[in-house]
Amino acid sequence: NTLTVGELAEKLGKDASEIIKKLMALGVMATKNQDLDDDTIELICSDFGIEVEKEEEVDETDLNHYIEADLEEQLIERPPVVTIMGHVDHGKTTLLDSIRHTKVTAGEAGGITQHIGAYQIKSNGKPITFLDTPGHAAFTSMRSRGAQVTDIAILVVAADDGVMPQTVEAINHAKAADVPIIIAVNKMDKEGANPDRVMQELTEYELIPEDWGGNTIFVQLSALQGEGIDDLLEMILLVAEVEELKANPEGRAVGTVIEAELDKGRGSVASLLVQNGTLRVGDPIVVGNTFGRVRAMVNDLGRRVKKVGPSTPVEITGLNEVPQAGDRFVVFEDEKKARQIGEARQQKQIEVRRGDQSKVSLEDLFEQIKQGEIKDINIILKADVQGSAEALAASLKKIDVEGVKVNIIHTGVGAIKESDIILASASNAIVIGFNVRPDNNAKKAAESEKVDVRLHRIIYKAIEEIEAAMKGMLDPEF
Ligand code: GDP
């Protein structure tokens, strides 16, 4: 929206010659019919002591812009979406299989279970949706793309093994996402199963059973023998009720891509989790930077469906390209609009590569603090031994800079791993390595996710660096 000198003069109630004079003072030779850009217009206005009211710029490519707020009375209860996490071999996959198999009811028999990234079962007539990829890596990589799909995390801990490093990671990932945790103490059938030890160990992470005065739900089970599964499902529904999970089935369909791939016969195939509204065959849709019209939908039992409501996973075809897990989708009224937005998003993606989103780094920390953009400094700390991790964490937390808090969201022993970087990216955190280095995958991830990784060998130097960054006194790096 440019104006000519003449038009601007008219708007301001001035003579064009006055404007031309001001322009000359700015070193711009202009005629009455010359177009002026926004910046110049603003300069001239401010010279006249006039404040320019800029029109709120609408970002056409921002999908959030198309999502209307729901009215309270439109909202109804929706099923919880659950992710299973825990240490390797503690029984996540077994539990997912066991839940699915025991709960495919007679009425649904005949359907062949399909892997579409998530499935839904019913417990006492109430649906629950499970994401099919166990583990916190998938969970957090979705979150790093801005997708929050999990309502409840199940933390599986083997009763014969207790709390292990990935158990702790999973706890921290779930906590960083502010998702309630239910503990599934698994392998209760095994000799040497010691649920008390698991409970004891978890108290260290503020996961305290109700019997001991806490408010964390523990369920003892055997995924292998299918024991205790019903108790677990009951607890999930209980937590879901407390969380008051709601959605508006009448709203515009929006949700998240759980997984996507190119199928030889069917083209782009995407598993979507509908989070609000109802998705229908034929809907024009934008999915991440792809678009199309929903050609066909298949549910987790391999059946074709015509429409699906909130918290339901479904596999769709009809997109022009393959979207990415964690991408948002939004349905549009007409195909032309969907195409236009989709194409604009594709274009924008080419211009702004994903990694260019600004992440915190120590260099611009002070600037961001000053601008009020951040109040917490999230830090992930990896060290060679537990003792130094704890010592460093304690000292970092003591750094006292007005209005800013240091938040240690995860500490661990060993090399910096890809999952640390992804957690940092999702939580806008800085990674500190004390006497440890990132492995190759972590290095690559840090580069592409633009995560700031700082390596130190001396505790006070690490503390000094963070403190200096918070105060804006960091020495420039050479
Ligand atoms: P994941 O790595 O966490 O997904 O673990 P899996 O589900 O692959 O389980 C690892 C191993 O533990 C497998 O050999 C399972 O059969 C076994 N397992 C899982 N749950 C149980 C259980 O409740 N009892 C016993 N005895 N073994 C189990």
On the question of pLDDT at 354 being above 90, the answer is no
**Contact of 111 with 305, CB cutoff 8 Å:** no
Query: Mean pLDDT, to the nearest integer, of 323-349?
Result: 90
Average of per-residue pLDDT across 421-431: 88
For residue range 319-330, what is the model confidence (pLDDT) as tens digits? Answer: 999 998 889 999
103 is in an annotated binding site: no
pLDDT of residue 245: 96
C-alpha 129 – ligand 1 centre gap (Å): 21
pLDDT tens per residue, range 94-113: 999 999 988 765 455 556 77
How distant, in Å, are the alpha carbons of 66, 141, 285 from that of 330?
Answer: 8, 21, 6
Q: Is the pLDDT of residue 366 over 80?
A: no
The tens digit of pLDDT for each residue in 32-84 reads 888 888 888 888 888 888 877 766 666 788 888 888 888 888 999 999 999 99
Spatial neighbors of 108 by CB under 8 A, at least 6 apart, are 301
pLDDT tens per residue, range 130-185:
998 877 777 777 777 777 899 999 999 999 999 999 999 999 999 988 999 999 99
Would the annotation count 254 as a binding residue? no
255 vs 368, residue with greater confidence? 255
Cα–Cα separations (whole angstroms), residue 291 to 65, 230, 264, 274, 330: 17, 40, 19, 16, 10
- Helix, strand, coil distribution of the chain in percent, nearest 5: 35, 25, 35
Q: Point out the least confidently predicted range of 98-102, 247-251, 274-278.
A: 98-102
**Which amino acid residue places its CA nearest to atom 19 of ligand 1?**
91
Per-residue pLDDT for 215 more than 60? yes
d(CA 430, CA 362): 8
297 in a known ligand binding site: no
Read off the pLDDT of residues 430-455 as tens digits, 9 standing for 90 and up. 999 999 999 999 999 999 888 999 99
What type of residue sits at position 424?
A
- Counting ligand 1 atoms within 8 A of each CB, the residue from 89, 94, 139, 164 with the most, and so the one to mutate, is 94
pLDDT score for 355: 44
> Does 196 score more than 90 pLDDT?
yes
CA-closest residue to ligand 1 atom 9: 91
Position in ligand 1 atom list of the atom nearest CA 97? 7
Q: Which pLDDT value is given to residue 359?
A: 67
Over pLDDT 70: what percentage of the chain?
A: 94
Confidence of residue 478 (pLDDT cuts 50, 70, 90): very low
Q: Is the CB of 256 under 6 A from ligand 1?
A: no
326 known ligand binder: no
Q: Looking at the predicted structure, is the pLDDT value of residue 296 above 60?
A: yes
Asked whether the beta carbons of 407 and 374 are under 8 A apart, the reply is no
What's the CA gap between 423 and 358, in Å, rounded?
15
Question: Ligand 1 pocket test: which of 83, 87, 89, 97 has the largest number of ligand atoms within 8 Å of its C-beta?
Answer: 89
Residue nearest to atom 14 of ligand 1 (CA): 89
pLDDT at 273 (0 to 100): 96
**What pLDDT is stored for residue 106 in this prediction?**
44
89 lines ligand 1 (CB under 6 A): yes
Question: Residue 358 pLDDT > 60, yes or no?
Answer: no
Predicted pLDDT of residue 474: 64
Query: pLDDT value at position 23?
Result: 87
CA angle, residues 109, 114, 120, in degrees to nearest 5: 70
């260019």: which residue's tokens? 356
Residue 477 has pLDDT above 70, yes or no: no
pLDDT computed for residue 45 by the predictor? 86
| Ramachandran region, residue 286 (left: φ > 0; alpha: ψ -120 to 50; beta: rest) | beta
pLDDT at 385 over 50: yes
| pLDDT over 90 (residue 456) | yes
| Ligand-binding site membership of 132 (annotated) | yes
Query: How far, in Å, is the centroid of ligand 1 from the Cα of 186?
Result: 8
Q: Are strands 405-413 and 376-383 parallel, antiparallel or unpaired?
A: parallel
> 20-30: per-residue pLDDT in tens?
888 888 888 88
Q: Is the CB of 133 under 6 A from ligand 1?
A: no
More confident residue, 47 or 248: 248
The whole-chain average pLDDT of the chain stands at 88
Average pLDDT over residues 9-32: 86
Single-letter amino acid code for the residue at 50: I
The model's pTM = 0.73
